[in-house]
Structures are given as C-alpha cells and as structure tokens.
Amino acid sequence: MKMEKGMKILYFMAFFMALSEAFPGYIKSSFVKEYVPAYWVGLFFVGSSLLTLFAVNFFPVLIKRFSNFKVALSVILINIASIVFLITVQDVYWFFVFFIIFETALILRWINMDIFLERITANPTTGKTRTLYLTYKNVGWLISPVIVGFLVGASNYRLIYLCSIVFLTIALIMMIAQKKRLRDDLDYEHQSTWKTIRRVFQRVSLRCIFSISFLLQLFYSIAVIYMPIYLNQNLGFSWQTIGLIFTFMLIPFVVLEIPAGIIADKYSGEKKILILGFLILISSTALFFFTKSTDPIVWAIILFLSRCGASLIEAMRESYFFKIIDVEDIDYINLFRDIRPLAYLVGSGFGVLVLKFLPLEYIFLFLAIILISGLFLTASLKRIENKR
C-alpha cells in the first residue's frame, strides 16, 4: 500500500463515518426520550453497551478468518440497515432492538478503521498520523451540531438519521472503490479475551493507558447522554442554540490535537500533555455542577474548556497506545475499543442510579471527582523513547 494515498483514503473515510455518527450523536438521547421517560433513557445505552461488549469479544475471530476488509464491509452494511429499521419502526421494543444494533455496529466499524490505519503507520510518526486521523473525524463532529440544530427543529429526529445513512453510504462507496488498497492478508495474532485482559494488567503502561481511556470515555458517555438533556430541558436552550454551543465546544478537537501529536513525537511528551489535559477537564467538569447561569455564552465557554482538556487526553491516549502495540496485536486494539461500550455501560447505569435520588447536575459533580484518578494513572505511565 502506498503510504500517503492509503492514509488519505482512510482520513476521508473517517470524515464521512464521523459525520454519520455525529449527526445523531447529540440528539439520540432525546430521540429515545420520545419512547420512554428520561430516567429510562440510560437503559437503552446499557443494552447497546452489553451487546457491544459481547460482539467485540468475537470480533478478532471474524477478522482473522474473513479479513478486516470483508468484516468492515459487513459491519457498515449492518449499520445502514439498522438505521433504516430504527427510523421506521413504531413499537418501543423493536426500537430498542435496532437502537442497540446501530450503536454496536458504530463501535465495531472504528475497530476496522484502527486496523487499516495501524497497518500503514510508522512508529516514530504515530502521534502525528493518529492526531491527523482524529482531526478528520473531529471536523465531522465540529460541523454537525449547528447543522443538526437547524434541521431537527422541534423534534425531527428521523431526518437526522436519514442524513447519517447518506454519509455512511459515501464512506462505503469509497471503501469498495479502494478495495485493492485496503484489502489485507496479514496473519493477525489472536488469543482469548481473558488472556488479553491478564496480559494488559501485567504491563503497567498498558494497564494505565487502558484506565485513562476508560475515564475519557466515561466523560464522553455522560456528556453525550445527559448534557443535551440538561441544556434543553433544565436550562431551556433551544436546539438551534445548543447546536451553536456544541459547534464552538468542539473546536479544540480540530485545533489542538495535531500540534499535541507533533510535540509528543518530537519530545516524547505524552505524560505532561496528559496531566495538563486532566487538570483542565476536571476543573471544567466541576463547573458543570457549580454553574447556575442560563447564559448560553457562559456555557459555551465552559464546554469549550472541557473539550480542550478532553482533546489533549484523546490525542495522547491514541499516540501512547499505538506506540506500544503493533498492527498484529488485534486483541489489544479490540480490547482498547471495547472500553467505549464499557464506559457507556457504566456511565448510563450510573446516570440511571443518580437520577433516582438526585437532580441531573449531580452526575457532573461525581464525574469530576472520578476524573481526579487520571492524574495518578498518568504519573504511572512509562516514558516512551521514540525509535527512528
């Protein structure tokens, strides 16, 4: 595979796949709320997380047997079909079924993309390559909220999911057109999930970076599920206003991650940047609870600061992890992406529990306290010496 062109293909695929995820990303909890009360919304994410954890466990077996390309093709087709059924069914039980299938396929397709990209990435440039890849994804997330805010109107959620199908179809066409470039014939290593987990816990750096990833995904899960509901129903912001706030909020992911990746490659600076990221994220998450203002500008600034911290953590998480593993280590990559559904399972379940006894904003206070552990985990990481 030609490195530069192969990477460009993956970057643009990531952009359209991110659009397909981002369009319904911040309205899906409100869409679910059309079928069930607010305190049951989290159970839909619990269900999708459980199915994803189960599916991811068998994913390496499928990739090893059928190839990453064929499995990726199948997952995207399942993802498209699940959206079609999701927006056409009326029964709440069938809605639940296709919702969790959609969420599961969404996670699995990013594992395929990780394997495609890791195959063509040289270790000394992992930070730059990974953060550029993340930036293409984040541009998709950046431009989505403001468009969705105007498209969704009062509650036109199905239109948003139709847009998701269009973007995902474009990514599928690009993938099929580049079959020869993306086709793989590697001999992937595979071992049982429990053996992989044991090996992760035996290596300090792997154990800590997995834990850091869990904390970041826990923040994302609670922010994605509960922040839109809080802004819309507790503070009374319209979806147009929320769309503008979220667009401004996501700018750090486009602006900060590439410079952070370059610095990490040049100076092996993952640990210092991670500490800075956690300090910013912890402080801003605490402000979610303590801020009583109903001024959208105030909330735009607070949410912007939170994503400054999150973007630095995300960039360094990717840079550090993919420097200490290889493309053949499919089980590590698989388990690393399994953290997201696990975090959504914990985050949504935690939200259901808190909302039974306390107002919604207390979720953010408890989250800020939990995130403090990230500082101790970062301190335990071993410094990476880049080999050229």
Residue 139, in any domain of the structure: yes
CATH code, domain with 140: 1.20.1250.20
Instruction: Return the residue matching tokens 């985050």.
Output: 347
Boundaries of domain holding 257:
3-379
Domain total for the chain? 1
pLDDT at residue number 185: 59
pLDDT at residue number 2: 44
Residue 272, in any domain of the structure: yes
The predicted-structure confidence for 347-357, as pLDDT tens digits, reads as follows 888 888 888 88
Query: 178, 165, 163, 57: which is closest to 111 by C-alpha?
Result: 57
pLDDT at residue number 238: 85
Residue 386, in any domain of the structure: no
Is residue 234 within 8 A of residue 383, CB to CB? The reply is no
pLDDT at residue number 188: 56
pLDDT at residue number 101: 92
Specify the pTM. Answer: 0.77
Residue 384, in any domain of the structure: no
pLDDT at residue number 345: 84
Residue 388, in any domain of the structure: no
Residue 28, in any domain of the structure: yes
Percent of the chain residues topping a pLDDT of 70: 89
User: Stretch 262-280: mean pLDDT, rounded?
Assistant: 86
**Band of pLDDT at residue 154, cut at 50, 70 and 90:** low
Single-letter amino acid code for the residue at 155: S
Q: What is the mean pLDDT of the chain?
A: 84
Residue 385, in any domain of the structure: no
Residue 387 clears pLDDT 60, i.e. is over it? no
Residue 368, in any domain of the structure: yes
Burial of 388 (0-12, 13-18, 19+ CB in 10 A): exposed
The predicted-structure confidence for 227-245, as pLDDT tens digits, reads as follows 888 888 888 888 788 888 9
Give the Cα separation of 292 and 33 in Å (integer). 25
Give the Cα separation of 321 and 15 in Å (integer). 22
Is residue 184 within 8 A of residue 10, CB to CB? The reply is no
Residue 123 clears pLDDT 60, i.e. is over it? no
User: Stretch 56-78: mean pLDDT, rounded?
Assistant: 85
User: Stretch 340-345: mean pLDDT, rounded?
Assistant: 84
Residue 368 clears pLDDT 90, i.e. is over it? yes
Q: What is the dihedral of CA 142, 144, 146, 152, to 10 degrees?
A: -160
User: Stretch 188-213: mean pLDDT, rounded?
Assistant: 80
Taking 3-state DSSP, the helix, strand and coil percentages for the chain, each rounded to the nearest 5, stand at: 85, 0, 15
Give the Cα separation of 53 and 263 in Å (integer). 34
| Residue 11 or 282, more confident | 282
Q: What is the DSSP letter of 200?
A: H
